[in-house]
Amino acid sequence: MVRIGIMSFAHMHAYSYAACVNAIDDAVLTAVWDDDAKRGRAAAKEFGTEFRKSAPKLLGPDIDAVIVCSENVKHRDTVEMAAAAGKWILCEKPLATTVADAKAMVTACKKAKVGLGTAFPCRYATTLIDARRRIRSGEIGTLYAAACTNNGQFPGGWFADEALAGGGATMDHTVHVVDLLRWITGNEFTRVFCEKGNLLHKNINTDDVGSVHLEMDDGLKVSHVASWNRPKSFPTWGDVTIEFIGSKGVMNVDAFNQKLDLYRDQDKRHEWAPWGDDSNRALIEDFVNSVRDRREPSVSGVDGLRAVEITVAAYASAKKGAMVRI
């Protein structure tokens, strides 16, 4: 049995991960800790586990691994603490808010000889796994361009505080797409140009939309829109889509299209009823297996570092008003 602790429920994905741990036969959510004790106690009660008053108490000998879901700027300190205690770690994305912090986290885990994974559940979506297989088999030939979106609802709270989040929608949503493109193509990004702004939520001090244009080392040209443009009435939090243009054809990928459109007259609203795979469950299952097998999680800390490098370069480009080399 793999014994897992969750360090902070600041990020909403912590609740999905906790539910997934509880649903896996060979894993147990042993305890949780949160620097917001009220939030932590409520989460512990919701998921039927123990709340511990301090991070060191969580990192005791009865815990094998931890999932870190604190505010972005706190990832480094939390991960380094867990690594020093010898725990396997899955860290919510973005891995860090600076390249220096991301590198330090990777180094700390390597020194401690513990696995470090980055929470990129989109890699486990069946649609994207199939797209990767088809593209790598040459089905649409040489890739020329990719047009991507990751639009979502504004999460609220600390996501609007740059000191805690490290940025806005561009930080929050670019990391998913650039990680997918690295994984699908096997290539690295070389340059980025970004324009960002605050167009929809005038009461926040972070960007709520970013227009990101990138180049990869094989010549692939990428356009990406990262935003918090979904209204509260939208059926789900957002999307992840990629249109690939190749020498032999075009492929359109919608990561979350395994669903039915549900219209309720009594509720006067439109909902999505998902029927497909649970990518969060697959992410947590891989993490549990990595702890049991004492291997690196499939989506590594280095993968998280690469996504941070690209996103930080995008912000540098927006500030400079010019293309930036990665």
Please, which residues have CB within 8 angstroms of residue 90's CB and are 6 or more apart in sequence? 17, 65, 66, 67, 68, 117, 118, 119, 283, 284, 287, 297
- 204 with 161, same domain: the answer is yes
- 12 with 114, same domain: the answer is yes
φ, ψ at 314 (rounded to 5°): -65, -40
d(CA 104, CA 166): 17
Burial zone of 257 (CB within 10 Å; 0-12 exposed, 13-18 middle, 19+ buried): middle
Q: State the alpha helices, DSSP H only, in 211-300.
A: 279-293
- 64 with 196, same domain: the answer is no
Q: Which two tokens stand for residue 34?
A: 């949160």
- 135 with 98, same domain: the answer is no
- 6 with 87, same domain: the answer is yes
Q: Look up the CATH number of the domain holding residue 319.
A: 3.30.360.10
Per the domain annotation, does 178 fall within a domain?
yes
- 11 with 129, same domain: the answer is no
Q: Are 179 and 222 in contact (CB under 8 A)?
A: no
Per the domain annotation, does 86 fall within a domain?
yes
Q: pLDDT (tens digit, 9 = 90+) per residue, 76-86?
A: 999 999 999 99
For residue 198, give the nearest of 172, 168, 223 by alpha carbon: 168
- Strands (E) across the chain are located at 2-7, 27-33, 50-51, 65-68, 88-92, 116-119, 143-153, 189-197, 209-216, 221-230, 241-246, 249-254, 259-264, 269-274, 324-325
Per the domain annotation, does 177 fall within a domain?
yes
Q: Count the residues in the chain.
A: 326
Q: Give, in order, the Cα–Cα distances in Å from 162 to each of 111, 126, 208, 283, 306.
A: 30, 34, 12, 28, 21
d(CA 217, CA 219): 5
Q: Check residue 79 and give its pLDDT.
A: 98
Per the domain annotation, does 40 fall within a domain?
yes
Q: pLDDT (tens digit, 9 = 90+) per residue, 86-97?
A: 999 999 999 999
Number of domains the chain contains:
2
Count CB atoms within 10 A of the CB of residue 245.
Answer: 16
Per the domain annotation, does 235 fall within a domain?
yes
- 43 with 190, same domain: the answer is no
- 79 with 137, same domain: the answer is no
Per the domain annotation, does 303 fall within a domain?
no
Q: Look up the CATH number of the domain holding residue 62.
A: 3.40.50.720
- 69 with 173, same domain: the answer is no
- 266 with 145, same domain: the answer is yes
Per the domain annotation, does 74 fall within a domain?
yes
Which parts of the chain sit beneath pLDDT 70?
none
Q: Check residue 127 and give its pLDDT.
A: 94
Per the domain annotation, does 201 fall within a domain?
yes
Domain that holds residue 26: 2-121+280-298
- 211 with 287, same domain: the answer is no
- 260 with 144, same domain: the answer is yes
Look up tokens 């909403």; give the residue: 12
